[in-house]
């Protein structure tokens, strides 16, 4: 399995291209659409890097995968699909996230909350193929209700569930998030073989590290994660996580990101001129 990371320093997001080099089939995990909040303009710079890389390799894109509906960046899934093909997939509990946020944004009645915006909704234990490899779906909620991890070969792509061991774990204070649920999800990951390579969806460096990093192992996470490891109880983790989340600021791009990402990357459409637009709810997040 070939693995290539494209790191976006603006949103601290790791986008992965994984491929079976024998069949020349690939998948993209957690893509990024550039977005400038002051001007409301989008950019495809990072997505174009992904496209150029895949085209140079002459790979066929089978999947455009989301680990969850991100709150810190917009997905480039529709753009990538238009250029490369492939099916856009996310966890089936995205319907729960859609139902939570539709009234917050006051989305039109024609915004469906059954996940139909995506090509495929995935459940815990589902499997699908990437060439000769099987991708196993692990439902890892807690950060959001719909979070998935993708386990393939000896690798697991965990989205926001875990960060590098020196940075910890994801926040759980978004609507539908829950620290106890995240703890149990991480135990599912900890049950994987110690040598399993763990690929994070984000990195923010740390107080002791001045370089970005996005790969560890299950053994390293179990032994060294500063928020959760084999010595931390459920009660200790929930107490710590809830207290820490109280002091965190709202992500800078949460308002545009969530409304776009719950629609598989499609912007709401202005009924008057069919132009894409964004909704700015007031006092929805404090």
- Nearest residue to 284 (alpha-carbon basis) of 146, 175, 142, 172: 175
**pTM confidence score:** 0.96
DSSP code for 269: B
3-state SS, residue 28 = strand
pLDDT in tens, 113-146: 999 999 999 999 999 999 999 999 999 999 999 9
Structure tokens at 162: 């875990």
How far, rounded to the nearest angstrom, does the alpha carbon of residue 128 sit from its chain's CA centroid?
18
Q: Of 21, 95, 34, 31, which is closest to residue 63 (Cα–Cα)?
A: 31
Tell me what pLDDT residue 272 has: 80
Give the C-alpha separation, 47 to 137, whole Å.
24
Give the angle 71-76-79 at the CA atoms, nearest 5°: 155
Instruction: Quote the pLDDT of residue 282.
Output: 92
**pLDDT score at 162:** 98
Cβ contact 232:187 at 8 Å: no
Low-confidence ranges of the chain (pLDDT < 70): none
Helix (H) or strand (E) holding 14: strand 13-20
Pairing state of beta strands 25-29 and 60-65?
A: parallel
Residue 248 is predicted with a pLDDT of 93
- C-alpha dist (Å) from residue 115 to 10, 144, 196, 283: 29, 15, 31, 27
- Please give the pLDDT value at position 92: 98
Predicted pLDDT at 46 = 97
> What pLDDT score was predicted for residue 164?
97
pLDDT of residue 89: 98
C-alpha span between 157 and 138 (Å, rounded): 10
pLDDT of residue 144: 97
Angstrom CA distances, 214 to 36, 201, 228, 275, stand at 25, 7, 17, 37
Assign residue 264 a region (left: φ > 0; alpha: ψ between -120 and 50; beta: otherwise). left
Looking up tokens 């024609």 gives: 110
- What SS3 state is found at 48? helix
């Amino acid at each position: 399995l070939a693995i290539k990371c494209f790191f976006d320093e603006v949103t601290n997001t790791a986008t992965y291209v994984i491929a079976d080099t024998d069949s020349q089939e690939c998948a993209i995990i957690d893509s990024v659409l550039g977005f400038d909040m002051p001007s409301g303009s989008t950019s495809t710079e990072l997505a174009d890097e992904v496209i150029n890389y895949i085209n140079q390799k002459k790979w066929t894109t089978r999947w455009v995968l989301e680990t969850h509906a991100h709150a810190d960046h917009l997905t480039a899934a529709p753009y990538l699909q238009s250029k490369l093909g492939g099916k856009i997939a996310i966890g089936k509990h995205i319907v729960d996230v859609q139902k939570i946020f539709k009234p917050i944004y006051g989305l039109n009645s024609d915004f469906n909350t059954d996940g139909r915006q995506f090509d495929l909704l995935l459940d815990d234990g589902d499997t699908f193929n990437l060439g000769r490899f099987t991708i196993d779906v692990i439902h890892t909620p807690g950060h959001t209700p719909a979070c998935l991890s993708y386990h393939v070969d000896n690798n697991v792509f965990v989205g926001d569930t875990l960060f590098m061991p020196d940075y910890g774990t994801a926040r759980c204070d978004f609507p539908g998030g829950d620290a106890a649920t995240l703890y149990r999800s991480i135990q599912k990951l900890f049950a994987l073989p110690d040598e399993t390579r763990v690929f994070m969806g984000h990195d923010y460096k740390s107080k002791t590290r001045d370089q970005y990093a996005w790969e560890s192992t299950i053994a390293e996470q179990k032994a060294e994660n500063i928020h959760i490891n084999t010595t931390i109880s459920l009660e200790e983790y929930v107490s710590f996580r809830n207290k820490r989340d109280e002091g965190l600021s709202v992500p800078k791009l949460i308002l545009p990101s969530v409304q776009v990402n719950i629609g598989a990357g499609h912007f709401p459409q202005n009924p008057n001129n069919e132009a894409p637009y964004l909704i700015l709810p007031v006092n929805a997040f404090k």
